[in-house]
Amino acid sequence: MTPDSQEFWPQSAQQFQQTLSEGWIKAFQSFQNMDLGSEGAPLAAPTTKGPQIRFSPEKLQELQQQYLKDAAGLWMQSLQGATPPSDKRFAAQAWSANPVAAFSAAAYLLNARTLMGMADAVETDPKTRARIRFAVEQLTAAAAPSNFLAFNAEAQEKAIETKGESIAKGVQNMLHDLRQGHVSMTDESVFEVGKNVATTEGAVVFENDLFQLIEYKPLTAKVFEKPFLLVPPCINKFYILDLQPENSLIRYAVSQGHRTFVVSWRNPDASLAHKTWDDYIEDAVIKAIAVTQDITAAKTINALGFCVGGTMLGTALAVLAARGEKPVASATFLTSLLDFTDTGILDVFIDESFVKYREKEMGKGGLMKGQDLSSTFSFLRPNDLVWNYVVGNYLKGETPPPFDLLYWNSDSTNLPGPFYAWYLRNTYLENNLVKPGKTVVCGQKVDLRTVDMPVYIYGSREDHIVPIGGAYASTQHLPGKKRFVMGASGHIAGVINPPAKNKRSHWIREDGKLPKTHADWLAGATEYPGSWWTDWATWLKAHAGKQIPAPKTYGKGKYKAIEAAPGRYVKAKA
């Protein structure tokens, strides 16, 4: 019997098309109707009517022909003892040394490739197609033979070599992770906030229910007269900007002569479950700006917003402008969205039914749990941030190595339900911040056209949280003098890229032009090796004013040192 005989391939082309079409339409609709918000990535709220999708017969026939050709080739290769296709999940020698394992890996990759081809062949609206792709990616990632001890040749080999010790250790690891509530990405016992992460010297000089304000000790004899305030995202802890001395953006700013202040968000508990977007803008961002001014006696300050912190900073600046106040001389937006037209893969989660579901669930009070948020972001890259650790921790019984960034990534934070519900509707769903006067925050109509100041806008080329096009879009809504810079890598690695490491690249358009699209901007941009930090430091220095003697003490007047940095708030667990 040959691989291309009727006996080996019993289905006709028509049967093949019908089976796959009907099966995967049903599978997708079932997946879309699930509410995974309490245990995993929240794809959508429960719905009663699925999307209208169909497959092109021509594309399915092409897929079938390619599948049969590749499957026949795979069968012949297996008879010749060929190794499985290149994929890091199956790269270990144990896979190629075991013919059955090698074939299962190659067959899996063929099937996964075909299913992704089917997802691309769907004829429906773009959002539904993106959701199908996401669903197929999740299902195929979970179904990899490497994820199961019965099929993982490498894990089996290790179990034999260790006489079962790796399996026993894997069970211990699993029980440990069940107790802590998340899969371990690093050896979390190695790190402690304030001891070996978040160690830049400073003091908390103000606090309220929402945040602590940290002032950092100057590292230079003189500082610039305009202080510098950083607003990190409240969906994460601020010390991503202060992991280690050698990669700390906070320490870098201090070493450049800036009198530096940072917002450290409180990790919300039930007492903050009623807090709104307005509360965070008025009582946190605007308050932090005012306290920084009071302590330094500065008429204006420079400010930076990172990720959601940038969205909040932009909103706060629009509110202040509507009040006739302009306390910020320049603003930096790092991988931030003001225009939510291009939100990348996160768009698959958002539609009217999902937002209504969240509004009903927690719009009047409640908490969006940090573990749910963390799971959502992890499943955006399931092989790298989920299954890789499942295999290593549980099947191989390994302890993941210490890594400060992954420790931070696992240190999740909650969000107040009303804040979260407002954010979903007014940004991701309706994109109201870029519609002048459409939304009202703190009693003021938001109009980004009033945020008239020099701005530095940074986006990361491979960012899957804030796509580069979304980061660039801010250039089209802010009226002041703008500088846009693109860095290599992703949402975090692109930002945390100190000059001393001389890694990656960044792109600048020297003519200063900011055309409508990022693609047009990039066509005229020049690539430079190394970090974008030095370019930003030069830009910020030009907006920082003259230099004055550095302060000898923290705070001023009623704003006295409360406790040493990094403070209590950042140490609270979700």
- Of the candidates 307, 441, 478, 544, the residue annotated as catalytic is 307
Cα separation, 234 vs 413, whole angstroms:
8
pLDDT over threshold 90, residue 213: yes
Identify the three-state secondary structure at position 340. coil
Comparing CA positions, the residue from 564, 188, 231, 570 lying closest to residue 405 is: 188
pLDDT at 49: 58
Identify the three-state secondary structure at position 352. helix
Comparing CA positions, the residue from 141, 113, 122, 137 lying closest to residue 51 is: 122
Query: How is residue 559 annotated by DSSP?
Result: B
Q: Which two tokens stand for residue 147?
A: 């994820």
Stretch 206-231: mean pLDDT, rounded?
98
pLDDT at 45: 42
Residue 4 — pLDDT band, cuts 50, 70, 90?
very low
Cα separation, 122 vs 366, whole angstroms:
38
pLDDT at 299: 97
Asked if 226 and 544 touch (Cβ cutoff 8 Å), the reply is yes
Stretch 428-440: mean pLDDT, rounded?
97
Stretch 141-165: mean pLDDT, rounded?
96
Lowest-confidence pick of 67-76, 278-287, 466-475, 522-531: 67-76
Cα separation, 382 vs 136, whole angstroms:
12
pLDDT at 50: 61
Cα separation, 17 vs 117, whole angstroms:
13
Residue 51 — pLDDT band, cuts 50, 70, 90?
low
pLDDT over threshold 80, residue 211: yes
Residue 85 — pLDDT band, cuts 50, 70, 90?
low
pLDDT at 57: 83
The CATH code for residues 202-343+430-571 is: 3.40.50.1820
| pLDDT one-digit tens code per residue, 353-376 | 999 999 999 999 999 999 888 888
pLDDT at 21: 45
Stretch 117-126: mean pLDDT, rounded?
89
CA within 13 Å, CB half, 278: 9
Residue 82 — pLDDT band, cuts 50, 70, 90?
low
Residue 34 — pLDDT band, cuts 50, 70, 90?
very low
The residue assigned the tokens 């594309």 is 59
Query: What is the overall mean pLDDT for the chain?
Result: 90
pLDDT over threshold 70, residue 503: yes
Identify the three-state secondary structure at position 455. strand
Stretch 451-470: mean pLDDT, rounded?
97
pLDDT over threshold 90, residue 411: yes
Greatest distance between any 2 Cα atoms in the chain: 90
Q: Which two tokens stand for residue 442?
A: 């703190």
DSSP state letters, 271-284? GGTT--HHHHIIII
Query: How is residue 188 annotated by DSSP?
Result: G
Comparing CA positions, the residue from 464, 486, 517, 236 lying closest to residue 343 is: 464
Cα separation, 571 vs 185, whole angstroms:
19
pLDDT over threshold 60, residue 44: no
The residue assigned the tokens 């994929």 is 87
pLDDT at 433: 98
Cα separation, 445 vs 426, whole angstroms:
13
Residue 71 — pLDDT band, cuts 50, 70, 90?
confident
pLDDT over threshold 50, residue 46: no
Comparing CA positions, the residue from 115, 58, 55, 112 lying closest to residue 89 is: 112
Report the percentage of the chain scoring pLDDT > 90. 78
Identify the three-state secondary structure at position 151. coil
User: What SS3 string covers 321-336?
Assistant: HHCCCCCEEEEEEECC
pLDDT at 182: 87
Stretch 502-513: mean pLDDT, rounded?
95
pLDDT at 80: 67
110 burial (CB, 10 Å; 0-12 / 13-18 / 19+) is middle
pLDDT over threshold 50, residue 542: yes
Domain ranges of the chain: 13-161, 202-343+430-571
pLDDT over threshold 80, residue 177: yes
Residue 327 — pLDDT band, cuts 50, 70, 90?
very high
Distance of CA 51 to the CA centre of its chain: 28
pLDDT over threshold 50, residue 53: yes
Residue 426 — pLDDT band, cuts 50, 70, 90?
very high
pLDDT over threshold 80, residue 25: no
Asked if 362 and 425 touch (Cβ cutoff 8 Å), the reply is no
Identify the three-state secondary structure at position 528. strand
Residues forming beta bridges with residue 368, ordered by sequence position:
415
Q: What are the two backbone dihedrals, phi and then psi, of residue 441, each rounded to the nearest 5 degrees?
A: -125, 130
Q: What are the two backbone dihedrals, phi and then psi, of residue 234, each rounded to the nearest 5 degrees?
A: -85, 0
pLDDT at 76: 80
Comparing CA positions, the residue from 537, 374, 310 lying closest to residue 39 is: 374
Lowest-confidence pick of 52-66, 465-479, 518-532, 553-567: 52-66
Is residue 442 annotated as a catalytic residue, yes or no? no
Cα separation, 429 vs 45, whole angstroms:
14
Stretch 91-107: mean pLDDT, rounded?
90
pLDDT over threshold 60, residue 32: no
Q: What is the pTM of this model?
A: 0.88
Stretch 287-308: mean pLDDT, rounded?
98
